[in-house]
A and B are shown apart, each in its own frame.
Chain A
Amino acid sequence: MHDSEIRNLIDVALDGTLSPKQLARLDELLATDDDARKYYIEEIILIGDLERSAFSVTYSKPRVAVPPVKAWTIGGIAVLSVLTMFITVVQLLPVKESGNPTRVVFQEPIARIIGGSSAGIVGMPSDGILNAGHYELEGSICLLFRNGASVEITGPAKFDVKNSLLMELQLGSARVHAPESAKGFLVAIPGMEVRDIGTEFGISVAEDRSAEVHVFLGSVELLCSGAEPRLLEEGNAISWEGKGIRSMSQVDDSKFPTRSSIGYQKWQTSFQRWQSDPSAVVFFDFKIDADNPTHVINLGKAGDQSHGVIEGPVQVSGRWPEKPALLFDKGNDRIQLNVPDEYQSFTLSTWICATRRTELSQAVFMTLGDERGEHHLQIGRAGKAKNGLIN
């Protein structure tokens, strides 16, 4: 292919100033030269993408049908006696009617929330999926971008998600981890762009628009309009006030949120909610009773508030260092508890980390008996939950 010739002709054609001679030549090349034709078509597609704003792009997918959320019931059956394994919350709730399948429209997300909560975030859809747009938050969230970059943001923060490799931070602190797939991830702050080149860095913008960049791992490129790009390497930090870059004496890791700190913060919020919920029959945070080490404290407000009896499991760290958990390691490890009342329905919610699944069916939450109507929740070897009543 006559690479430069076809490019020149395309430039002129797009500018609308092709002479008859140039048109004849372009026409000839496009009719006879596969490579020229391919280049021309790709160029038109590229310009089409640029015109529709590749700088803040979203994609649309067809409408999809999703099944309704169903509440399950234990009709007329008493849930009582002894339950094995561990549970977090059992809550009395009215039975929800299952409606018709809901049709939802979704755009392929640029990012989604993987830590923290979307509640109270201005501009945030309830499903936690972020498309291009402006968002504001008071708390903390962890976002996972489509190309693999994760960004932990602490409020008060204002930011724009532009595309899977670009966000603008107008206020707040953020910690960015960009794996290989997200190399080039760009965070724009007032007057400067910070481009990742394989790294982890922290970035903050204050109310007066002054900013700081701290590089924890790898390096970043600082891009200021009218200046040469500057490399900032691991262990270095700068401050920026719109006029010039000033080196700081040391990086400060503690200024920026981590996924773990955001997750723990979110758990604490949930903890407060469950602890004060008057309909929670059983609520375990897996703290052991200091006066009786065989008891795990039941924090549920409803029911008789009897504690669980630990039979085997040992206490370990949970998802966060501050959060206790119990390790169910041997075949017969369990917590036993009594739920003496009868309920028409209940909701169960728990977080489990399953490191191995050797049993065909591993008990999670179940009655001890095998009588008709007794409830069993188990995990199969393939990781699927099996929940139901014995009939």
Chain B
Amino acid sequence: MASERRLRNFAKILVYEANDADEVFQEAAVTMLEKFDSLTTDRDFVRWSCKIIVFKVMELRRRKGRERRRFSDRTVEALAGHAEELISSMSDRSLALENCIQHISPTNRSMLIERYEHGKEVDLIAEQFTTSSQAVYRSLSRSRKALHDCISVFLANRRRSNA
């Protein structure tokens, strides 16, 4: 579901750690179900859900703040404001990614698949590709940077051609 994907990403932006993001999303989903009747129009769904997620992130911080490392309230609020806007363009970014991924070399693409699609640990990937973990980290970082730049160019070109 496109909305679920957006909201999971939104949670991850605010807490950056996958386990925390899952916890926040699950708790937020329960609240969404309980309070669903208070939603007046379908159009507001993502915005309304984002607010619930922000609330759950703050709760998590209060609950576990001393145990784990977290962003400050100020940063969470700043990120939430910015993220709401950006996640609305996620489908465009996905389309751009489909295009850009083809420009990554086969080896680097394989590493991206192993790390993100298959969720393999970096050490295992290093073993598989007979290289060091540091080299895998560098390769992943470089590939993400290349994808990031390519997506920006793709979207800018698309905006220009639509103008």
Contact = CB atoms under 8 A, between A and B. Distances in A.
Interface of A: 7, 11, 13-16, 18, 20, 23, 26-27, 30-31, 34, 37-55, 57, 59-60, 147, 163-166, 184-186, 193, 195, 223, 225
B98 A37 contact: no
Contacts of A50: 97, 112, 115-117
Nearest to B2: A60
Given A18-B69, A46-B151, 15 more contacts: A7-B145, A11-B141, A14-B16, A15-B122, A27-B71, A31-B78, A37-B78, A38-B82, A44-B16, A47-B144, A49-B90, A49-B93, A57-B94, A57-B98, A59-B94
B107 A27 contact: no
B151 to A, nearest CB: 7
Q: Which of A43, A47, A223 has the most CB of B within 10 A?
A: A47
B101 to A, nearest CB: 6
Prevailing SS type, chain B contact patch: helix
Contacts of B69: 18, 20, 23
Contact of B117 (A18, A53, A60, A184): A53
B98 to A, nearest CB: 5
A147 B100 CA distance: 13
Contacts of A18: 69
A374 to B, nearest CB: 48
A26 B71 CA distance: 8
A286 to B, nearest CB: 42
Contact of B144 (A20, A46, A53): A46
Nearest to A48: B9
Nearest to A225: B106
B51 interface: no
Contacts of A7: 141, 145
Contacts of B137: 11, 15
B148 interface: yes
Contacts of B12: 44, 48
B142 to A, nearest CB: 10
13 contacts: A14-B16, A26-B71, A27-B72, A27-B75, A37-B79, A46-B97, A50-B115, A50-B116, A55-B113, A57-B94, A57-B98, A165-B98, A166-B102
B17 to A, nearest CB: 6
B86 to A, nearest CB: 5
